[in-house]
Structure 1
Amino acid sequence: MTRVQMNAFRQRMVKASERLARQLATSIVEGEIEEGARLPHESEMLNQLKVSRATLREALRLLEVWGLVVIRTGPGGGPTVRRPSSGELAEHLGLMLQFQQLTLQDVSDARLALEPMMARLAAERITPEEIADLRDSVEVMKRSYDDPAQFWAQNQRFHSAVAEAGDSRVISMIVDAVKFIADGASSGVHYERAELEDVVRAHTKIIDLLEAGDAEGAASSMHRHLDVGRRFIARNQPATLRSPLRWPD
């Protein structure tokens, strides 16, 4: 009879440094330690927290990795509290997608599920100021057919703005995390003027539906817009859809 090793069922023990880091992180997140505040000197923290120097230093390194402190060296240095931005989450998640060897096809699948949902929410919640911002992005795109960098920057601006207007911060941050390869341009896909004009028309239609409060129409048009883009890549550069994602230049 095979003997089962009970330690196979034992949960991972949380290290003292990780437990301390979580406690300090909670204090930062809940505002007990304000952004910009400098944490006490190491000797004072050791006395207050009753932990070893190794545990404290490892906990601070974890907080630095999590983006909750900046550790400066030299006179007047030490750990200073900060709050990470949603853009940093986007960068980290984007990098994780690359490390997982995911493809443009994988990201396209996610966007086809998420962005129509955000367009539906945006139609119910969008403000006149947000509509104006979206229309401005389209006007800049119209002036940027010969400036690909500006054109695709405005494309990202449009998709981020729709996600933000949906007022679902979790989904919005995920959309931001994948939008840098949303159009395929950063993966080497080439677009002619006609395709760029189609993008502008699609954006304009989505904005009109958002302004009209047509949730289902906005969601349907967003899905159609993304699907047309994916089919264009599949037709013209199919290998790009299957290639691992690249970190954008």
Structure 2
Amino acid sequence: MAKSSANGMAKSSADDPISNLAVRRAIAATRGEKVSRTVARLVARTIADDRLQPGAALPSEQEMANNFGVGRASVREGLRLLEAQGLVTMRQGVGGGPSVAEPTGAAFGDTMSMYLQVNDIRLYEVVEAVIEMEGLAAALAADKVARGEIEDPEELEALEPHTDDITSNREFIETSVGFHDHLRQLAGNYILALMGSALAHLFSDRAIGAHPSDWNDRERTVFADAHAQIGRAIRAGDAATARQLAMDHMRDAVSMTLGDNPTVLQDRVDWK
């Protein structure tokens, strides 16, 4: 079966890892491993090797079963493993089937929370990690500016706070989250960006309810000023200042988020 790769080029079945004879050999060579896990691993490898983008359709369960030389039940279980990890989406109905999912920090954080729960990890440990990672991301971004590795002015302009037109609590939160997501992207380290986003999601998902009401004008101003200072330090290539400002801002953000409910930090990070 021919299919298109990420660059739109058609691929023959002989070149396609999902239908290549080498896949059958890989299945046979890993009989000590559960077949469904082998299927999941090979599908994940195909997504990476072919650089398939979110939304790209994968072969149907039956096609995979035929190409792999395994039962459809093993394919289905393998796809469910990938779906649980946030790597594959199973679409229902006409035109449905497996497709590549959008990798997000939220999905990664949900998976991570299972491990944190069984190890009895408390929210304050998540906060400590978030503060350190945010500082590191800001420092790395500033270093890249200092070395001339960030040349697109629009990437740096995105660090400017745009809060004048914000009228709702939701817009304020989305703008703040967007600032930090962009900051982590500028750091140029995908692992740091993914981990930072995942941990920030774990905290906000569990602590945002502790905030007594909508963010008031004073709180919004504090956030906007902090973002502006961090942005200036990064644009100046001052890694030490950017790191300290980012860490201080995260501490203040946690304090304002929790308000009069700091005991939330002692809560266990349960899987939701």
The structure 2 residue matched to 1:174, chosen from 195, 199, 214, is: 195
1:51/1:239 CA distance change after superposition, 3 Å: same
Query: Which residue does 2:106 correspond to in 1?
Result: 90
For residues 241 and 179 of structure 2, the distance between their equivalents in structure 1, rounded to whole angstroms, comes to 17
Query: Which residue does 2:221 correspond to in 1?
Result: 197
2:189 paired with 1:132: no
For residues 98 and 41 of structure 2, the distance between their equivalents in structure 1, rounded to whole angstroms, comes to 16
Q: Contact between 2:122 and 2:267, CA under 8 Å: does it hold in 1?
A: yes
Structure showing greater Rg: 1
Query: Which residue does 2:139 correspond to in 1?
Result: 120
1:32/1:184 CA distance change after superposition, 3 Å: closer
Q: Which runs of 5+ in 1 are unaligned?
A: 1-12
Query: Which residue does 2:171 correspond to in 1?
Result: 150
The structure 2 residue matched to 1:226, chosen from 217, 241, 250, is: 250
Q: Contact between 1:94 and 1:178, CA under 8 Å: does it hold in 2?
A: no
Q: Please state how far the C-alpha of 1:217 moved relative to its aligned partner.
A: 0.8
TM-score, length basis structure 2: 0.68
1:157/1:247 CA distance change after superposition, 3 Å: farther
| Root-mean-square deviation over aligned CA pairs | 3.4
For residues 66 and 16 of structure 1, the distance between their equivalents in structure 2, rounded to whole angstroms, comes to 18
For residues 41 and 242 of structure 1, the distance between their equivalents in structure 2, rounded to whole angstroms, comes to 45
Amino acid at match of 2:261: Q
Amino acid at match of 2:124: Q
Query: Which residue does 2:80 correspond to in 1?
Result: 61
Deviation string 1:213-240 (CA, Å, 9 cap, x unpaired) is 1111111111121223345567733223
Count of residue correspondences: 228
Q: Which runs of 5+ in 2 are unaligned?
A: 1-31, 145-149
Amino acid at match of 2:226: A
1:22/1:134 CA distance change after superposition, 3 Å: same
2:132 paired with 1:109: no
For residues 33 and 222 of structure 1, the distance between their equivalents in structure 2, rounded to whole angstroms, comes to 34
The structure 2 residue matched to 1:161, chosen from 179, 182, 197, is: 182
